[in-house]
Amino acid sequence: MLLASLNPAAVAAGADIDDAVRIDGVTLSRSDLVGAATSVAERVGGAATVAVLARPTPATVLAVVGCLIAGVPVVPVPADVGAAERRHILTDSGAQAWLGERPDDTDGLPHIPVRLHARSWHRYAEPPPDATALIVYTSGTTGLPKGVLLSRRAIAADLDMLAAAWQWTAEDTLVHGLPLYHVHGLVLGLLGSLRIGNRFVYTGKPTPENYAQAVSEGGSLVFGVPTVWSRIVADGDAARALAPARLLVSGSAPLPVPVFDGLAALSGHQPVERYGSTEALITLSTLAAGERRPGWVGLPLEGVTTRLVAEDGTAVPHDGESIGALHLQSPTLFDGYLNRPDATAEVLDADGWYHTGDVAVIDAGGMHRIVGRASVDLIKSGGFRIGAGEIETVLLGHAGVAEAAVIGAPDADLGQRIVAFVVGDAAPDELIDHVAQQLSVHKRPREVRVVDALPRNAMGKVLKKELLQWV
């Protein structure tokens, strides 16, 4: 079953944990979760789809778990989503009610509150493995958000694969402060903990102080995005306080090599890096018991197959240098975009390969390095194919650069010219020379712009399409 550790029979047999979930000042035992979530299941059973305003609260936890027990698909809605985007999500998903917390404007939907202290011990049959568990909407960077259909089978498979890769067990205490409307925070963090049976601690704001405090109280498995890890490294005391943890995991965006090195030096932990998407969940990772190479996201998880494809459809060699489009097959793949067979056909081919939209390199040992999105991170300049991430890594290695993002801007002569946006105090000419000395001359930025901050989304990813508008 998907929520293996929430099996009521296991709780009845004495497998309870007093502090299974700690979130927003509330501590829930495993039996609290079972009783309160089953009460939620009784109130929503039979619904086609419900929306959950995914604030990090006990109500959100119980709403999601209650729907999973009842077999009702959940649409996690970001609390800060705009009104037009929220209306699209609700209309497109066919959500019949708000469950748990509700926004100020409910868009005409009824509201079903979650009662924290209600309890029910009704036994529900496990829904079919292929039933939809979550409908997670993409960020909408290329149009209106699309609803990604994630089955119970795909989620369970991914969590089991990660448990093996990260040696993740019920003895762990998982710590994070990431949004609960995204795969990283909701599926890996919360549902992973409930399936595996470990304790789950939500830090609130993902500050260095909160992470350090959670580890001091027993946190062993710590999830973060690069922005969080960068701030922890900048606060040396917080990074050193993570030493008692077992494993640090970074994802949702590339981890800069200097941050990887800083965590290793200060905490004693080389972080695990992994790669995934809403459509495929997590498919690549370095291993708890394997090599962790800065800038590389590891090997295919068990059951995952990858390939690199050139623009002419031929195979790209696994030489650690050649760039190709990343395709993959996996038991974790989504079941398509809701109401969008056209969009589904664009990324899922007839042979079951998912075309990720990312470009990557693979070395002879099977290690993967993600160059970035084909649309913004593969730069074609003067006849060369250049990965933006390689240049960003070199820029971040300069003492005068705190953050960096590289794009290919349209250029009448070169096709695209390399433009770097940096946060820091280094002179632009100095940075151009620095890249030319470290990499091939044709990879140097033609222009460096020093900015106060880079535009990022809630998961810390740089919004490069917005940067293109700055040129």
The whole-model pTM stands at 0.88
Averaged confidence pLDDT in the chain: 93
Q: What pLDDT, on a 0 to 100 scale, did the predictor assign at position 141?
A: 53
Q: Per residue in 218-266, pLDDT tens?
A: 999 999 998 899 999 999 999 999 999 999 999 988 888 889 999 999 9
Q: What pLDDT, on a 0 to 100 scale, did the predictor assign at position 258?
A: 87
Ordered structural domains, the chain, with CATH:
4-202 (3.40.50.12780), 271-373 (2.30.38.10), 378-468 (3.30.300.30)
Question: Of 149-158, 265-274, 433-442, which gets the smallest average pLDDT?
Answer: 433-442
Q: What is the mean pLDDT of residues 12-16?
A: 74
pLDDT reading at 142 higher than 70: no
Question: Of 74-78, 103-107, 285-289, 337-341, which gets the smallest average pLDDT?
Answer: 103-107
Q: What is the mean pLDDT of residues 371-381?
A: 82
Question: Of 140-149, 161-170, 369-378, which gets the smallest average pLDDT?
Answer: 140-149
Q: What pLDDT, on a 0 to 100 scale, did the predictor assign at position 253?
A: 82
Q: What pLDDT, on a 0 to 100 scale, did the predictor assign at position 456?
A: 86
Q: What pLDDT, on a 0 to 100 scale, did the predictor assign at position 140?
A: 54
Q: What is the mean pLDDT of residues 328-340?
A: 98
- Mapped to the 3 state alphabet, what secondary structure does the chain carry? CCCHHHCHHHHHCCCCCCCCEEECCEEECHHHHHHHHHHHHHHHCCCCCEEEECCCCHHHHHHHHHHHHHCCCEEEECCCCCHHHHHHHHHHHCCCCEECCCCCCCCCCCEECCCCCCCCCCCCCCCCCCCEEEEEECCCCCCCCCEEEEEHHHHHHHHHHHHHHHCCCCCCEEEECCCCCCHHHHHHHHHHHHHHCCEEEECCCCCHHHHHHHHHCCCCEEEECHHHHHHHHHCHHHHHCCCCCCEEEECCCCCCHHHHHHHHHHHCCCCEEEEEECCCEEEEECCCCCCCCCCCCEEECCCCEEEEECCCCCECCCCCCCCEEEEEECCCCCCCECCCHHHHHHHECCCCCEEEEEEEEECCCCCEEEEEECCCCEEEECCEEEEHHHHHHHHHCCCCEEEEEEEEEEECCCEEEEEEEEEECCCHHHHHHHHHHHCCHHHCCCEEEECCCCCECCCCCECHHHHHCCC
Q: What pLDDT, on a 0 to 100 scale, did the predictor assign at position 387?
A: 82
Question: Of 9-13, 22-26, 315-319, which gets the smallest average pLDDT?
Answer: 9-13
Q: What is the mean pLDDT of residues 95-124?
A: 94
Residue 459 confidence class, pLDDT cut points 50, 70, 90: low
Q: Per residue in 390-421, pLDDT tens?
A: 898 889 889 899 999 999 999 888 889 999 99
pLDDT reading at 53 higher than 70: yes
Question: Of 44-48, 81-85, 228-232, 356-360, which gets the smallest average pLDDT?
Answer: 81-85
